[in-house]
Amino acid sequence: MHRNFFFFIVLPFILFACTTPGRTNQIMVQNNAELQTAIADAAAGDEIVLKNGTWNDVKIEFTSSGTKEKPIVVRAETAGKVFIEGQSYVKFGGDHIVMSGLYFRNGYTPNNAVVEFRLGKEVANHCTFTNCVIENFNQPQRDRQDHWVEFWGRHNELSNCNIIGKSNSGPTVRVQIKGNESIKNYHRIVNNHFGPRPRKGGPHAETVQIGDSDTSMSPSHTFVANNLFDRCNGEVEIISSKTNYNEFRNNIFYKCEGSLVMRHGNYCLIDGNIFIGDDHSDNMGGIRIVNTGHWVINNYFYNLKGNNFRAPLAIMNGIPRSPLNRYNRVTDVVVAYNTWVDCKSPWHFGVGANLEQAEVLPASEIRSARAVRTVIANNIVYNAEETFPPIVAYDKIDGVTFESNLINYNGWVGEKKNVFEYCDFSMTKINNFLFVPSSNVCEVPAYNGFEFESITTGLFGNSRQENDIIGAICGTPGENADITDAGKYGAGWFSTETIEHDAKLFKVTEDDDLLKIINDAASGDIIELAAGKYVVAASIKIDKQISLKSANGQGEVTLVFSGNEKSPLFEMNPNGNLNLKNISLEGNRANFAFATLKENMSALYNLKVEDCRINSFKYVLKAYKESFSDSISFEGCTIGNCDNGIELSQETDDNGNYNVEFLTIDSCLFTSVGANVVDYYRGGYDESTIGGNLKVTNCVFTNCGAKEENKILLNTLGIMNVGISDNIFKNNPVKLVALLWGAKNNRHSGNEIMNSGKIVVQENIELKLMY
């Protein structure tokens, strides 16, 4: 069942080279008009060559077709030297068309896809988009959904491409299965480098989605192989498989905060994939299983800390008589010959079980159908430290059969003797993430289950017939061990290495033009302000990484903002990253200290405020709809005499979105903040979303919340992870300090509350259903 690990790297180039002798006509085009003429006149064997340079507002719509022997080829004069910008797109409306060497940047599609294997009702067949790059080609509005590659038809291919930085709504790659002409499609997604994809703050941010709920019982046969998924953190599902008979082979998932998910559909093969985590995130997952007939074999999992929906292996509970868009029971699944190394509680069963939420959910949403006829066999679990139990069960696991699974520590062995064979073995390090069992491993006979004889090779292609040992790896990895080298994936001409900028230090006095210096500074530079009072009349635009701090030992630095009503001192733009340290900010009670753009926040921003004094603003921070920050922190700050505090509550469509992933408030003093002291909101019941994240620690709140309409000081409705600890709440005229969600990770401890209401924990909070 396993194929050679790097066979797919060279295959597209072999096929491309084989077509060369059949070409009959090369057409060089230098502008859009010539390109349109060449496309309209294209015939089998033509090669349309785009002259090197920047092309704006390019609309490529193909209705002609080539043949297998004589495809129509559209390529860059020099791969990587043709830049497609502005409002541009590609639509394949014919057969046997190859597009190569283009670089999409500085723009967005005016349609629903950047590259679409369809024109109108005409689907493409046997077409290839290869050796290209699509980078940050985002819609100006983050809620405007599109796909960067959208498959229709049959036998189409996305290969050797780099797909980087999608931040707006919608899967990066979408395989459509609507219509008989698009089922049994045998599409190929091979040898690509996906990511990084930043966190989105809600659902609809998969990197690859194959089908949807309505078409989930259709056969697709989509082949996803030998791709590098690099920090694809958009949402809980990196790949969402929603059709039948798909194959996922030899892909690398490198530090991705999500999982490869069999969300709908049946009979998929997950073979030879490698999942690599780290110690810095608890959200990196592995494989999540729903539905029937999947085989999970020869996969390797390292240092994954995710749990529940993002566990290294998550076997879900289903809904009895489930509708198509929910969760069917797991049945007839095989999980065999896999290896987990240093993964926190690698196996989770009954994921999604939610009987305790029956009071706020309809019966049709209760996941009580446990996995049946599921075999977990011939696997290895190794942890250097016996910190966590190897199994987490949210329900009974009586429908699962365990055979010949080896573990190196007792864990649950005494309680669940039928789950693991225990042996005190060690692992030999091959590289930073790859470990193989040492020679002292116990010989556990492999379980020979139904059709197990078809598992003929291990993770790196070595034969199991000669060495049938348990775990993913049989034999030695050899030269294939270095599979995280980014140069082995994507466009051969594109480098993923970033050039480090040597930060410059600008020393500024009151006599200098502060706004000009900030505007002229490069991303990463530091602005050091001498003591004094700086009057700022217009908003400071932050669209890069910049640090502002007071000069050491030079006394007080104050920015006095005299800008117009509702204008911000610091205007956070897409890609803005501001670090502010030891500076006083003074407003006029009508303007804002920090705010995002009201629209066109196409990319995320970050804000860190340390040891600052913020006074007399209408809002400390105002985040508008469709804005998103990965991280906002206020540490050691004094905030007083403001009408409103930190408002991150504009995603009121209740579709699971929110305005920031991580909000941290530590060691701050809040005094006389009228409303929205902290207002952080996520609406809509989306059980697989695990954000946002709020920590409020070591702070003092005095005389705040007097104008808060709902009489709650810290508003956190729908936020999954909330920690409120070791704070003092004194003389705040509210009924509640906070209303926490007990069923989620909402916690409070060590708080001192005086004349400020109380903290209430409500186990189940009723939210709008999204499905």
What are the pLDDT digits (tens) for 292-325? 999 999 999 999 999 999 999 999 999 898 888 8
Q: How far apart are CA 682 and CA 691, in angstroms?
A: 8
pLDDT category at 412 given cuts 50, 70, 90 is: low
Say if CB 300 and CB 339 are below 8 A apart. yes
How confident is the model over 429-446, as a mean pLDDT? Answer: 86
pLDDT of residue 404: 94
Model confidence at 7: pLDDT above 50 = no
**Confidence band for 413, pLDDT divided at 50, 70 and 90:** low
Question: Is pTM beyond 0.85 here?
Answer: yes
Residue pointed to by tokens 């069963």 = 349
By the 8 A CB rule, do 729 and 705 touch? no
Model pLDDT, residue 153: 98
Average pLDDT of the chain to the nearest whole number: 92
- Ranges 274-283, 326-335, 432-441: which has the least confidence: 432-441
- 49 token code pair: 């060559």
Across the range 269-284, mean pLDDT stands at: 95
pLDDT at residue 495 above 50?
Answer: yes
List, for residues 36-49, the tens digit of each pLDDT value.
999 999 999 999 99
Average confidence (pLDDT) over 266-295:
96
Share of the chain above pLDDT 90, in %: 80
**Residue 244 burial (10 A CB sphere; 0-12, 13-18, 19+):** buried
* pLDDT score, position 24: 66
Per-residue model confidence (pLDDT) at position 120: 95
Mean pLDDT of 150-170: 97
H/E segment holding residue 40: helix 32-41
Contacts with 396 (C-beta within 8 Å, 6 or more apart), sequence order:
350, 370
Q: Assign 3-class secondary structure to 197-263.
A: ECCCCCCCCCCEEECCCCCCCCECCCEEECCEEECECCCCEEEEEECECCEEECCEEECCCCEEEEE
What digits encode the pLDDT tens for the residues 709-733? 999 999 999 999 999 999 999 999 9
Q: What tokens appear for 9 in the block?
A: 């790297």
Q: Radius of gyration of the chain from Cα atoms?
A: 28
Fill in the amino acid letter for 10: V
Q: What is the pLDDT of residue 474?
A: 87
pLDDT for the residue numbered 423: 87
Q: Which residues pair with 164 in a beta bridge?
A: 135
- pLDDT of 553 reads 62
Tell me which H or E stretch contains 398. none
Per DSSP (E only), the strands in 378-429 are 380-382, 391-393, 400-403, 406-407, 421-422, 427-429
**Does residue 411 have a pLDDT over 70?**
no
Determine the distance from the C-alpha atom of residue 349 to the mean position of all C-alpha atoms in its chain, rounded to a whole number: 24
Please state, in angstroms and rounded to a whole number, the distance separating the CA atoms of residues 326 and 323.
6
Answer whether 347's CB lies under 8 Å from 389's CB: no
Rounded distance between C-alpha atoms, residue 7 and residue 202, angstroms: 37
Give the span between the Cα atoms of 770 and 716, in whole angstroms. Answer: 19
CA angle 639, 643, 648 (to 5 degrees): 80
Judging by DSSP bridges, how do beta strands 752-754 and 728-730 pair with one another? parallel
Token pair, residue 684, equals 């809509």
Query: pLDDT tens-digit profile of 99-142?
Result: 999 999 999 999 999 999 999 999 999 999 999 999 999 999 99
pLDDT mean over 610-626: 97
pLDDT at 414: 52
pLDDT, tens digit, for every residue of 365-376? 899 899 999 999
Residue 406 reports pLDDT greater than 90: yes
pLDDT value at position 554?
62
* DSSP for residue 358: T
Residues in CB range of 7: below 8 A, 6 or more apart: none
Judged against a pLDDT cut of 50, whether residue 9 lies above it is answered with no
Q: What is the pLDDT of residue 645?
A: 98
Q: Spell out the residues 6+ positions from residue 733 whose beta carbon is closer than 8 angstroms to its own.
A: 703, 705, 706
Query: So what's the pLDDT on residue 145?
Result: 96
Separation between Cα atoms, residue 754 and residue 702, nearest integer Å: 10
How high is the pLDDT of residue 85? 98
For residue 158, what are the β-bridge partners? 129, 189
Residue 556 makes CB contacts below 8 A (sequence gap 6+) with: 531, 550, 584
